[in-house]
Amino acid sequence: MSASVRLSCGLIGFVDSTETDRTQSFAVAPIFIAMSWFLFFLSTIFVCCRANVCPCERPELCQQIREERDFEVFVFDVGGKTWKSYNWSMVTTVATFGKYDAELMCHAHSKGARVVLKGDVPLSDIVDQDNRTAWITEKVSQAKSQFMDGINIDIEQAVEEDSPEYHALTALVKESTETFHREIPGSQVSFDVAWSLKCIDKRCYDYITIAESCDLLFVMSYDEQSQIMGDCIAMANAPLHQTLAGLLCRCFIINQEKKAIFNTTKFLSFFLCFQLMTNLLK
């Protein structure tokens, strides 16, 4: 009898102790959860604010460059500190193909030059509209957080005419330009093209629509001997007549009103002078 009472009392005491612990636990849990969310919220604010803090000595240097140029001098920067030796009186846009350098961005802005992202993505990935939108959104967010002035789309992948990738690339340039212009007023969207329209390296793009969609084309008039099929390899990297033919074709066929990477009037003057010199030397 006594043993039974003790056992019962022991059980009752055990139950009471457990209920007390549970009550305390339930009381502490909401406080712990609230503190966790509060700390998470603070850390999120810290990360966001930290990402958007201007790294330049003068805050105004983090403002995007909006000035339009009639004549563009592009530099493709691949990293390091070579940019300190650039002739900044000539440079108008720096396309960053290397690691992001805040010091470069600040210096370029102090000289009135744009700094733009590199844009490259497998075309098979952006055939889907949602994937394409996500890629553009990511690039715009990156440009904003790094105080950059646009994007240079450098896609040099083989594309069959009228294929899904063909139309996806055209849409990518158009949608990128619209989104960048809306989200970063005054931003620049450029697209790199081969020296000729004739499906160089099987890059059969819709050049006319792309030219109409973006701010300017960068004509890659170099390494033009990529399609050598015979034994003769001793030739110019970018033969002058071949380069001129490709550039003139773009000037007059694609869109005479679009900006190119060179001043059309000056280029035509040079071309006429070249033709005159050629005739005189015959």
* 120 in Cβ contact with 141 (< 8 Å): no
Residue 52 lies in a domain: no
Residue 12 lies in a domain: no
Residue 35 lies in a domain: no
Q: Which of 19, 68, 103, 156 is catalytic?
A: 156
Range of the domain at 254: 62-224+236-281
Residue 108 lies in a domain: yes
Residue 45 lies in a domain: no
Tens digit of pLDDT per residue, the chain (282 long)? 444 333 333 333 333 444 445 445 444 555 656 566 656 555 554 444 445 799 999 999 999 999 888 888 999 999 999 999 999 999 999 999 999 999 999 999 999 999 999 999 999 999 999 999 999 999 999 999 999 999 999 999 999 999 999 999 999 999 999 999 999 999 999 999 988 878 888 899 998 899 999 999 888 887 777 666 666 667 777 777 777 777 666 665 555 444 444 444 444 444 555 554 455 444
CATH of the domain at 164: 3.20.20.80
The model carries a pTM of: 0.70
Say which amino acid occupies 150. Answer: G
Residue 261 lies in a domain: yes
For 196, other C-beta atoms within 10 Å of its C-beta total: 18
Residue 230 lies in a domain: no
Residue 256 lies in a domain: yes
Q: Is 165 one of the catalytic residues? A: no
Domains contained in the chain, number = 1
User: Residue 251 and residue 216: Cα distance in Å, rounded?
Assistant: 12
* 148 in Cβ contact with 116 (< 8 Å): yes
SS (H, E, C) the chain: CHHHHHHHHHHHHHHHHHHHHHHHHHHHHHHHHHHHHHHHHHHHHHHHHHHCCCCCCCHHHHCCCCCCCCCCCEEEECCCCHHHHCCCCCCCEEEECCCCCHHHHHHHHHCCCEEEEEECCCHHHHCCHHHHHHHHHHHHHHHHHCCCCEEEECCCCCECCCCHHHHHHHHHHHHHHHHHHHHCCCCEEEEEEECCCCCHHHECCCHHHHHHHCCEEEEECCCCCCCCCCCCCCCCCCCHHHHHHHHHHHHHHHCCCCEECCCHHHHHHHHHHHHHHHHHHC
